[in-house]
A and B are shown apart, each in its own frame.
Chain A
Amino acid sequence: MPSQKSILRLISFFAGFVWLAMLGSSYLYRFGLLHYATSDTYLFASKSLLLLFIVTIYFFYRFNIGRQESLNIIDLLWNVFVTGLIATVVSLASTLLLTVLKDQEHGRNPYFLDTLYQINVGLIITFLIATFMVWKRFILYQKSKWLVRTWNTFEYGLLGSAILFFIDFKIFTGIGLVISGLLAVLGIILSANLKWVAYLNYKQKWKSILLIILIALYIGYFYTILSNYGQDHGYTPIYSVLDVITVNELYFFAMIYSIFSVLVILFNLPTSSVFEQKLIEVINFQKLSQSRNSGQSEGQIFDILLESSVSVAVANAAWLDIMDAEGVCTKTLFFKLDERAKNDILKSIETKKKRGIQSQVPGRGSKENRFTAEVKHDIHKSIFIVPLFIQDQQIASMALLKDVKDGFSKEMIEIIRTFINQASISIENYRLMVEAIVNERYKEELKIAKRVQDSLIPKMLHTNEDLEISAFSKAAAEVGGDYFDTYKMADQRLALIVGDVSGKGTSAAFHMSQMKGVFQSLVQMNLSAREFIIKANNALSGSLDRTSFITATYINIDSKKKRIEFSRAGHCPSLYYSAKEKKVRYLEDNGLGLGILRDSQFNDFVDVNEIEYSSGDILFLYTDGITEAKNSKNEEFGYDRLKLFLEKHVFYSAEYIKDEVLKTLHEFCECSNLGDDVTALIVKVK
């Protein structure tokens, strides 16, 4: 498919060619006329070529104007105007040339006169068809089936009537008269379609009037040019273009539509401001409802509301009080007003002439705060105050002022009310969205906290040749308060800790990270279990909040001496399996949770114990999430079941015991979430 541009170029080239052929044939006819007798063949050829020219130009504009997607009225008029201007200038130049050469030999040369005539004909036809096609666009601006059908009849009628050109009677006789009359009537009927005028704004209307008047002047001028051509010079063209009904009709139609357009635009001028006002209302309403979707901030919505209301009410000044949750005004937006003027106006409201406006929504805005009133003020004479509500809570109050009494019509108030409703919905939506975003952010923060906490739990456990160690820790929520850690000291010594922070969730997680810091610092000082617990209590006493404490069991394993030294700081007693005795027991020594006594009194409660270990012994450290895990009958897993569990698993590896304890717990609870943080650390002597 060739592009539109290349088609246009091709058509215009063809039109030029047809025009030249037309000129050529008219020369030949003229030659015959001068030297022999009349030669009808050339006349016929010339006439045919003229019609071909008309059709070619028609197709040119059909492609050019007819195909444009958007309709820019002023641009189209401007195009026609420019085409007319060029044609006029050329036509005037040719007239001038004729006048200058009137008395000379060349000026009377019939070939020269023919040439000028054909130039005029070409340009004028081009202009007429351009006008015709633009008027067509205007008429079909808002199409209906009937309109399109009428128009097509008109257009085909115009083209068809051209045939009559070949039949040798004058247009104002017989069939020609009837046909041109019918076409003229159709043209007038079609000229009543002027809907496009309504879509022009005030300024565009003035522009259009000017352009159309000029176009009409061209049309008139061209008509006189063609009808009187060469009369002063005793020149008779080989045929008159005006004999073509089509050209005549084009003249008539173009003129009629121009006149109609100018008149309609003129009559529309006074009401155009009203129409524009309505358009603004629609646009404002759209803005408000769009702001709801695009999530504009409250401030922006208030701005749009004030702006829209002012323009709809044509208010001279306005303000908008924005209120907080307690109904106290926090900010005021002003339009052509300041704080002092606002206070003056509020004082000068004539309470006697206050007219409340009943709200349509019961409970929202009593008569008291939605009213119009008269104002005793130099400039402002009437006021309209309206509140904004979100779920029975007033969030704003808007006041509009006018410099005339009773300035607010019922219709205006209704429109502003719809604006207010729309704005309320927008703001409510905005608030809900903000809330959702905040919640989403908290979730994100918790995820981050979880990642950070996961990094505090050791991935690799320190061990030595004597021992196998396995551990797990699972928080019930995103973050938890359980803690375990290992550290390898010099001389085959190993430090282990399992801790549990009181409380749950975020606060527990913070204290847990403190515990990690304390452990990592103290453990490097190569302390005994007793010293470690005392120093840890000391360190934590300053930083734990009033009701928080941490329970912990601290273990020192010396693989050289094959000894385990341990101290229990209020933590649930560890389980110990002695391979020699073939017995599992709880290491129930005394001890106090860290942070319970925050002074040296604590030292009196520290208990340390030692065990000599041998191959096959198991140390099972855990947190109360295991013993307090509940099943559907609200029974706790408890100490006895835990002891029984270990007794059954003494011959397994630490890793296997770890997996089994989780499995056993889930089986007991018949659920995947245990409801509490769960930690276990298993040490098995090889």
Chain B
Amino acid sequence: MVEIKNTLNNDVYTISVIGEVDASSSIHLDESLSEATSKYKKIMVNCEQLEYISSAGLGVFMSYINDLEEKGIKLVIYGLSKKVHHVFQILGLDQLLKITEDEEGARGIIDGI
């Protein structure tokens, strides 16, 4: 099961993904990302407490890659555990999505350093 928390700090929208994202719970991640990308230009995805992500969950991230580019949205994923990061890597998503180690790095990218 997954728990998703959304917070808005100034103009930065943060989605915190907690728990496991599998085929059924990936729908919640999709809903949350869909809302975020339709309203905000600066999005951070906090994955510090993301324990596991299935291919269906990766598919959700993947499906927004084009949107981000077209709408000029800055989306940064941070706090991936080693294992989850490896999953992103294998699929090649690390080449397409901005991924940083921690929140500070993410903020740096969002603020356009």
Assess the A547–B30 pair: CB atoms within 8 A. yes
* Interface: B56 (CB within 8 A): yes
**Interface stretch (choices B9-17, B39-47, B91-99, B104-112):** B91-99
Chain B residues near A636: list those with CB within 8 A: 83
Assess the A502–B95 pair: CB atoms within 8 A. no
Assess the A605–B56 pair: CB atoms within 8 A. no
B52-85: which have CB < 8 Å to A?
Answer: 54-56, 58-60, 62-63, 65-66, 83
Instruction: Known A547-B30, A547-B56, A549-B59; judge A596-B91 contact (CB<8 A).
Output: yes
Chain B's closest residue to A547 (CB) is B59
Assess the B56–A596 pair: CB atoms within 8 A. no
Q: How far is the CA of A624 from the CA of B95 in the complex (A)?
A: 20
Query: Which of A500, A548, A598, A605 touches B92 (beta carbons < 8 Å)?
Result: A605
Interface size of A as a range: 20 to 34
Chain B residues near A504: list those with CB within 8 A: 23, 56
* Interface: A591 (CB within 8 A): yes
* Interface: B1 (CB within 8 A): no
Chain A's closest residue to B62 (CB) is A596
Assess the B26–A547 pair: CB atoms within 8 A. yes
B37 to chain A, nearest CB (A): 13
Chain B residues near A503: list those with CB within 8 A: 23, 54-56, 59
B97 to chain A, nearest CB (A): 10
A572-630: which have CB < 8 Å to B?
Answer: 572-573, 590-593, 595-598, 605, 624
B interface secondary structure, majority = helix
Chain B's closest residue to A595 (CB) is B62
Residue ranges of B at the interface with A (Cβ–Cβ < 8 Å): 23, 26, 30, 54-56, 58-60, 62-63, 65-66, 83, 90-93, 95-96
A interface secondary structure, majority = loop
Assess the B91–A570 pair: CB atoms within 8 A. yes
Instruction: Known A503-B55, A504-B23, A547-B56; judge A590-B92 contact (CB<8 A).
Output: yes
Assess the B90–A572 pair: CB atoms within 8 A. yes
Instruction: Write 28 A-B pairs (CB below 8 A) sorted by A numbering.
Output: A501-B55, A502-B58, A503-B55, A503-B56, A503-B59, A504-B56, A546-B63, A547-B30, A547-B56, A547-B62, A547-B63, A549-B55, A549-B58, A549-B59, A570-B92, A571-B90, A572-B90, A592-B95, A592-B96, A593-B91, A593-B92, A595-B62, A596-B91, A596-B93, A597-B65, A597-B96, A598-B66, A636-B83
Assess the B55–A596 pair: CB atoms within 8 A. no
**Which of B54, B56, B60, B62: most chain A Cβ within 10 A?**
B62
> Contacts A504-B56, A548-B59, A572-B90 given; 16 further ones with Cβ under 8 A?
A502-B55, A503-B54, A547-B60, A547-B62, A547-B63, A549-B55, A551-B55, A570-B91, A570-B92, A591-B92, A592-B95, A596-B91, A596-B93, A598-B66, A624-B55, A636-B83
**Which of B23, B54, B83, B90: most chain A Cβ within 10 A?**
B90
Query: Which of A502, A505, A592 touches B59 (beta carbons < 8 Å)?
Result: A502
Count A/B pairs, Cβ under 8 Å.
63
Assess the B23–A596 pair: CB atoms within 8 A. no
A634 to chain B, nearest CB (A): 10
Chain A residues near B30: list those with CB within 8 A: 547
Assess the B95–A605 pair: CB atoms within 8 A. yes
Contact with B along A543-584 (1 / 0, CB 8 A): 000111101000000000000000000111100000000000
Chain A's closest residue to B91 (CB) is A570
Residue ranges of A at the interface with B (Cβ–Cβ < 8 Å): 500-505, 546-549, 551, 570-573, 590-593, 595-598, 605, 624, 636
Q: How far is the CA of A592 from the CA of B59 in the complex (A)?
A: 12
Assess the A502–B56 pair: CB atoms within 8 A. yes
Chain A's closest residue to B94 (CB) is A590
Chain B's closest residue to A592 (CB) is B92
Chain B's closest residue to A593 (CB) is B91
Assess the B96–A551 pair: CB atoms within 8 A. no
Query: Which of A502, A570, A596 touches B65 (beta carbons < 8 Å)?
Result: A596
B17 to chain A, nearest CB (A): 16
Chain A residues near B54: list those with CB within 8 A: 502-503
Q: How far is the CA of A571 from the CA of B87 in the complex (A)?
A: 10
Q: Which 10 residue pairs are nearest across A and B when measured between Cβ atoms?
A: A592-B92, A502-B55, A547-B59, A570-B91, A503-B56, A547-B63, A502-B59, A546-B63, A593-B91, A570-B92
Q: How far is the CA of A551 from the CA of B87 in the complex (A)?
A: 12
Q: How far is the CA of A503 from the CA of B60 in the complex (A)?
A: 11
Instruction: Known A502-B55, A503-B23, A503-B55; judge A596-B92 contact (CB<8 A).
Output: yes
B43 to chain A, nearest CB (A): 18
A625 to chain B, nearest CB (A): 11
Chain B residues near A593: list those with CB within 8 A: 62, 91-93
**Which of B55, B59, B60, B62: most chain A Cβ within 10 A?**
B55
B91 to chain A, nearest CB (A): 4
Q: How far is the CA of A598 from the CA of B66 in the complex (A)?
A: 9
**Which of A547, A551, A590: most chain B Cβ within 10 A?**
A547
A605 to chain B, nearest CB (A): 6
A293 to chain B, nearest CB (A): 40
Chain B residues near A591: list those with CB within 8 A: 92
Chain A residues near B62: list those with CB within 8 A: 547, 549, 593, 595-596
B66 to chain A, nearest CB (A): 8
B2 to chain A, nearest CB (A): 15
B58 to chain A, nearest CB (A): 7
Assess the A551–B91 pair: CB atoms within 8 A. yes
B60 to chain A, nearest CB (A): 5
Q: How far is the CA of A591 from the CA of B96 in the complex (A)?
A: 11
Chain A residues near B23: list those with CB within 8 A: 503-505
Q: How far is the CA of A570 from the CA of B96 in the complex (A)?
A: 12
Chain A residues near B95: list those with CB within 8 A: 590, 592, 605
A530 to chain B, nearest CB (A): 15
Q: How far is the CA of A593 from the CA of B59 in the complex (A)?
A: 10
Chain B residues near A605: list those with CB within 8 A: 92, 95
Chain B's closest residue to A548 (CB) is B59
Query: Which of A548, A572, A596 touches B96 (beta carbons < 8 Å)?
Result: A596
A298 to chain B, nearest CB (A): 34
Q: How far is the CA of A501 from the CA of B55 in the complex (A)?
A: 8
A587 to chain B, nearest CB (A): 12
Chain B residues near A571: list those with CB within 8 A: 90
B73 to chain A, nearest CB (A): 17
Chain B's closest residue to A591 (CB) is B92
Q: How far is the CA of A503 from the CA of B26 in the complex (A)?
A: 10
Chain A residues near B83: list those with CB within 8 A: 636
Chain A residues near B59: list those with CB within 8 A: 502-503, 547-549
B35 to chain A, nearest CB (A): 16
Chain A residues near B92: list those with CB within 8 A: 570, 590-593, 596, 605
A312 to chain B, nearest CB (A): 52
Q: How far is the CA of A402 from the CA of B70 in the complex (A)?
A: 73
Q: How far is the CA of A592 from the CA of B58 in the complex (A)?
A: 12
